[in-house]
Structure 1
Amino acid sequence: MQNLKIRAKNIKRELDKLFPNPTTSLIYKTPFQLLIATILSAQCTDALVNKVTEPLFKKYKTPKDLANANINELTKDIHSVTFYKNKAKMIQKTSKIIHEQYKDKVPKEKNLLIKLPGVGSKTANVVLGHAFGITSGFVVDTHIKRVAKRLGLTKHTDPAKIERELMQIVPEKDWITFADQLLWLGRKYCTARKDKCIEHGLKLTHYSK
């Protein structure tokens, strides 16, 4: 465990140079918008989600608007994203709960967030970390899952186990930033198709391919 902590610290030092001010690429103005965007981003690129949410958030400005939307029309509004039919139902149900139970305010407690339709640990961590600055866990998406394994920070493949391990070896104060850095590393250099770290001169020792 101590070796992994040292490894994580060294990797973080290099990523601080590469991505000094990382953040989510999802475009949002309110915690509620980030919540909806993150639900839509499951197995979908942030770039595509941003194209969908720009007109979506202009049309549906509040949780009440989405809660009362015609489901067929809402489905058409987000048809570009993956699993759009299920996601339309989830964001409408979540919007209804936010409106009726939380008076249009996104809860700041992870245990409440993960009870919402379409919200798991990753989505809750993203919303709490970026909308409220609350450290609730370590975000693990497909990029972070791949990169963490390549960098030797974990041998697990299950996101929940990866999150628990990263939370043990990375200081809590770095969870939000480090997750964002790993995500951007996965998008720009350590991609699924090709690992470009070495050719870009990145001083990151890969554990496995």
Structure 2
Amino acid sequence: MKKVMVLAAALAVFTACKDDKQTTVESDSTIIETPTDTVTVDVDTLEGAETGADAEAEAAGSAETVTTENNAAKPSAKYAAFGDKMVADNALTKEQMLKKYSSLKPGDTINVKFKSTIKNVCQKKGCWMTLDMPTGKESFVRFKDYGFFVPLNAGSREAVVNGKAFVSEISVAELKHYAKDEGKSQAEIDKITQPKLTYGFEANGVLITQ
């Protein structure tokens, strides 16, 4: 009887050891497999993130290309600056400026900024210029306190002027002086016999396209 009990006990111990060994192996297998699964998931996540980053980078590149193309289609003008510092933004057109002039009487002045094409420039020093206005008119621009001058070859370029606009009457003597500065012939100067109501402008700052 004692032998049977001893045998039974030994069998039980053997079975328990066998079960423990299986558990250990299975546990080891789980430990091995689990990190592998985790690494696989992390790699997938990283690959997805990289794909998303590549897509964003590609989209950003496309946006920059469109912006560049748009800028190329509408290049901003480059100006040479004279007198006080100023910007070209929000300048009136010559059509809008003509309406302003039409509302003025001799002696009136308004502070304004407008842009137009340069018709003529003083060919001696560049101390005045005329700007094209609608209906064949022009604005005669002088520079405040003769503090600066513009290039003699600035004719036909776009200009933006900032300062005071006014309407005034120019005497015959002044008109002849300006005609001489402009380089007109003596015959053309002699034809000036009447004063002229003009659109005047005293600019403290000027921008001219380069």
Where on the TM-score scale, by shorter chain, does this alignment land: which range? Answer: under 0.3
Structure showing greater Rg: 2
| TM-score (norm: length of structure 1) | 0.19
TM-score normalized by the length of structure 2:
0.19
